[in-house]
Amino acid sequence: MSVPPDCRGTGHAACHHGEILQGVFLDATGRRCAGLVTLPMAGMGSRAEFTRCPGTPPERLTVRPGDRTKAARAAALAVEECARLRREPPCGGELRITGDIPVGLGMGSSTSDVIAVVRAVADAYGVRLAPDAVARLAVRAERACDPLMLDARPVLFAQREGRVLEVLGPCLPPLVVVGCALGGGAPVDTLALPVPTYDGSEVRAFERLRALLRRAVATGDAALLGQVASVSARQGQQLLRHPEFDTLTDIGRRLGTLGVQIAHSGAVAGLLLDPAAPGLRDRIRGCVRALDSNGIAATRVFATFPSFPSVPTKEFPSGPAHRGGHRPARPDTPRRPARLPAL
């Protein structure tokens, strides 16, 4: 039996490249909240297609792939919410999820799945859900979520509550990021990590970092942002303890990068470069070469501004520059985004 077109919906959500800042912060009432600021990354993401089947019980919901349990919970919750808004009984349906985000690296793969699913269900119902409503559903589906429903806006986000603590500004300062994966890219079981506790002095230190990051965004100060990210990354190592972290920071200091950033719940990390400094391509190659020579898997080069395409690091080889017709394109050459290489 054919399905009416108005019963089908699609949704998409991007990923991120770990965090710039993560810790415990004070909300407007002075209450402590776990919060984070993610580093957005264009190019990869999750896509979902949902077909609702009116007249079927809501528990008759099929999900492919079948192991996407968080996405399945998100679909059920979104069906309940959208049906309520439409003032009709919830029903079952068919959900299909595709994507190209590596799992377990701290790039928000599960949140991307969840948001894409919620958007697909809303589209199938002809309902438009506000970002804060999407965030609430995402937290209910996976206990904590990243602020991917807000697209690329830099915000301090309470990931366990699904709410914005502070909008830091319209956009991040211009940065080029040479991405890598620590620990050979082995997935990190986020839920198995202990929940850190912080005393008053540590919370005040996080608030100082928050103020510095606010200033960096307001003034477009990429160097200051790099300092904040580096301090936050080192703080995160008290929990994650990546053995290559000191090597990564040494590479950054030796090559004059602005700093490092890292996923606080995974293995993805990045060297932060100033795109306005001379010799950008040579500096990118130098970073890729240094990472490779120290056994750290270089993955992708991307930026916080749209004119720089996100490309795998094979486009910036670690060997001598190619000559003639084999020379890699310039950083501002339009390029079809490529997938993160398998790690």
pLDDT in tens, 205-263: 999 999 999 999 999 999 999 999 999 999 999 888 899 999 999 999 999 999 999 99
> What is the helix (H) or strand (E) element at residue 288, kind and residue range?
helix 280-293
- The domains of the chain, with CATH numbers, are 5-166 (3.30.230.10), 172-326 (3.30.70.890)
Paired tokens of 227? 């300092």
- Pairing assessment for the beta strands 32-53 and 61-64 based on DSSP bridges: unpaired
3-state secondary structure at position 328:
coil
Residue 4: pLDDT band by 50, 70, 90 thresholds? low
User: Is pLDDT of 331 > 70?
Assistant: no
Residue 319 has pLDDT above 60, yes or no: no
pTM, entire model? 0.87
Q: What is the pLDDT of residue 191?
A: 64
Beta strands in the chain (DSSP E): 8-26, 32-53, 61-64, 92-99, 155-158, 163-167, 176-181, 259-262, 268-273, 297-303, 311-312
pLDDT of residue 281: 94
> By the 8 A CB rule, do 268 and 252 touch?
no
**Per-residue pLDDT reduced to its tens digit, 13-24:** 999 999 999 999
Task: Tell me which residue of 133, 147, 160 sits closest to 20, measured CA to CA.
Answer: 147
